[in-house]
Copies of this chain bind each other. A is one copy, B any other.
Amino acid sequence: MSDIQSNLKQSNAAYAASFDQGHLALPPAKKYLVLTCMDARIDPAAALGITLGDAHVIRNAGASAVDALRSIVISQQLLGTHEIVLIKHTGCGMLTFTNEDARGLVEKNLGKEARAELGDLDFLPFPELDSAVKKDIAFIKQSKLVPDDVIISGWVYEVETGKVRQVV
């Protein structure tokens, strides 16, 4: 067992020992979903005040709405959410490379077979933060898979200060 796995087991035992939220229902109680980045410096529950059981939390590289569409549709159509909070952040890794860079790295580090497996996968990097928030919000709004009455907002989280600011 790795150190990471040991730490997980030990931390979880302490968490479970005082756990008293086993009654929570499957559908999010406050019927919203938060879409944010996988970045290690973001703790959505703490930083955004998400109470256990209240909201779906989707996280991927860059908080991409395109990448999250499957999860968004499931959240809304099967589990009844009708508000989306999209949060990208300062210092995001997705600001630091292009598809060409990433594809080149895969071939260099993992070889030609890995590069072939990648195909034309879009890593979905973006060159500027606020415009990326706006672009993703526009993508969600134009999609027929998200009903027009869903409330949608776009934000930036600052990893330097812990503060959010609304963009859209």
Contact = CB atoms under 8 A, between A and B. Distances in A.
A12 B114 CA distance: 41
Q: How many copies does the complex hold?
A: 2
Contacts of A160: 22
Contacts of A22: 159-162
A40 B53 contact: yes
A32 B59 contact: no
Contact of A38 (B33, B43, B93): B33
Given A24-B41, A117-B143, A151-B2, A49 B11 contact: yes
B48 A11 contact: yes
A56 to B, nearest CB: 4
Interface in A43-83: 43, 45-49, 52-61, 67-71, 73-75, 77-79, 83
Contact of A93 (B21, B74, B85): B74
Contact of A78 (B58, B105, B110): B105
Interface of A: 2, 4-5, 7-16, 19, 21-22, 24, 26-30, 32-33, 38-41, 43, 45-49, 52-61, 67-71, 73-75, 77-79, 83, 85, 91, 93-94, 96-97, 102, 105-106, 109-111, 113-114, 116-118, 121-124, 143-145, 147, 151, 153, 155, 159-164, 166
27 contacts: A4-B30, A5-B166, A8-B48, A8-B49, A8-B164, A9-B166, A12-B47, A12-B48, A15-B46, A19-B163, A22-B159, A22-B162, A26-B40, A29-B40, A38-B56, A38-B57, A40-B54, A41-B52, A58-B60, A60-B71, A61-B71, A67-B70, A67-B71, A69-B121, A74-B93, A74-B102, A117-B144
